[in-house]
Structure 1
Amino acid sequence: MHTDLRVKHDIEARKKAAELFGKGRGYKSVAKELSMPRSTVRKWQQIWKAFGSEALLSMDGKQARYTYGQKVAAAKAVVEDGMSKGDAMASYGIMSLAPLDRWCRAYRDGGAEALRPKPKGRPKGSGAAARPLTREQQLERRVQQLEAEVAYLKNCGPWLEGEGEL
């Protein structure tokens, strides 16, 4: 049997939490009963309130992808219209509070444009191609090459003269 390492808590713990939420228990008492971190159980409670038990039990650890329109609409509803984050999660189908928090922060800082998708991959080079050398620069480079060649041959002179003795 293969276990999914992306999911930190097993399905049984989430089933028990959903059952307790259904009985009207709060996240603090559920966290205490299950001996789990409050923050985790609070996130589960938000998902349970927004989407029900099925969503809580079908969490698979994969990140959901959201369109630009969903991001803008959800962030605008929270920031400008005063909608609660839990209601926004339910209305726009957002399965986690973390991306909604990020979107709201970005929306406050830079508006809707801040939520546009960023280009993927390594950025292209500067694009400035090397300018062709002038005739004078070409000749200077050739002179430097020839001077280096002469200096090398001068240093090799003693070894070349001694060739006949080997």
Structure 2
Amino acid sequence: MRARSSLSAGQREELVALFEQGYSYWAAAHHVGVGVYPVRALFRRFLLHGKLCLVEKPSKQQYSSEIKKEVVQRHLAGESKMDLAREFGLSSDQVVGYWSRKWRKGGDDALKLKPKGRPKGSAKPKVLTEEDKLRRENERLRAENAYLKKCGT
């Protein structure tokens, strides 16, 4: 389970036990006294993985653009998100919908992995010649002079 989940480990275990008894996510959420949306997400993972939805994964899985493209094409061809998520071992069926939306907006390029970290800075500034340095200093001094005249000093 994610570290940023609003459900505690005990609540998740209690909710999974209620799911196994046949409770809907809405009824289970009200029985435990927690919000419906995180319980719905847990319920969808429960339908996909069973009790394994309680196991915390060590790291975030990354998929190649080819796998994403295949999943999207099969989803657009009519296969259900749940079946695709189960077949490809995705954490949730909502991942399939997310990839499909990205593909509709940006095509195949939208499914490619983005480089991590901060983008590299722009190219190093070019070295100024002595003449350019003098021109810049001259402009700065003119601006300073105009400012001082305007202030009346």
After TM superposition, the score normalised by the length of structure 1 is 0.64
Contact in 2 for aligned 1:18/1:53 (Cα 8 Å): yes
Counterparts in 2 of 1:3-152, with a 5 A limit? 6-54=4-52, 56-59=53-56, 62-78=59-75, 80-120=76-116, 121-126=118-123, 130=126, 141=131, 144=134
Taking only aligned residues, the RMSD between alpha carbons, in angstroms, comes to: 3.1
CA displacement at 1:44 relative to structure 2: 0.8
Per-residue CA deviations over 1:51-109 (Å, capped at 9, x if unaligned) read: 1112x21135853323323322222222x222222222212211135543331111112
Report % sequence identity: 22
Distance 1:104 1:64, change over 3 A: same
Q: How many residues align?
A: 133
Distance 1:36 1:64, change over 3 A: farther
Contact in 1 for aligned 2:64/2:113 (Cα 8 Å): no
Q: Which has the larger radius of gyration?
A: 1
Contact in 1 for aligned 2:81/2:96 (Cα 8 Å): yes
Distance 1:108 1:5, change over 3 A: closer
Contact in 2 for aligned 1:20/1:30 (Cα 8 Å): yes
After TM superposition, the score normalised by the length of structure 2 is 0.68
Tell me the distance in 2 between the aligned counterparts of 1:83 and 1:5: 31
Per-residue CA deviations over 1:113-142 (Å, capped at 9, x if unaligned) read: 220112333135258x84996xxxx6xx29
Tell me the distance in 1 between the aligned counterparts of 2:29 and 2:77: 32
Where 1:89 maps in the other structure, the secondary structure is: helix
Where 1:111 maps in the other structure, the secondary structure is: helix
